[in-house]
Amino acid sequence: MLFHGRRDSMDDTLGLLEEALQLAAEIGHHVREEPLGELPGGPCVVGGTPTVLLNLESPAADRLAVLLGVLARDPAVANQPVSRLLSLRLRAVPGSTLATDQR
């Protein structure tokens, strides 16, 4: 039973990561998943394009946290439809532009 709960949590994480990756693309962020050693990744600009680097060697939950941190601070997210679960996770990020959004 414990394994089943852990599996559901992993499925949620992977599903949220996929949804967050799609959202990032829709609002103009280019996401690159690369091996970054000990670095977690984060936002940068490459050739004038907003880019998010995610450490391919990090667990999915860590990659999701980095991506949520970037998306939660982008006002363009407020105009995009997202799942209830992703909306809750985005609002929970400190400094989120969605913190007071009533969506």
How far apart are alpha carbons 91 and 56 in whole angstroms? 25
Structurally, how many domains does the chain consist of?
1
User: Across residues 55-60, what is the average pLDDT?
Assistant: 96
Q: Which domain holds residue 85?
A: 2-91
**Above 60 in pLDDT, residue 57?**
yes
3-state helix, strand, coil in the chain (%, to 5): 50, 15, 35
What's the pLDDT tens digit per position in 75-98?
999 999 999 999 999 999 999 988
The reply to whether 19 falls in a domain is yes
**Above 80 in pLDDT, residue 99?**
no
What's the pLDDT tens digit per position in 5-28?
445 677 789 999 999 999 999 999
> Half-sphere exposure (CA, 13 Å, Cβ side) for 100?
1
The reply to whether 80 falls in a domain is yes
Strand order, beta sheet including 30-34: 30-34, 49-55, 41-46
What was the pLDDT predicted at 23?
Answer: 97
Q: What is the pTM of this model?
A: 0.84
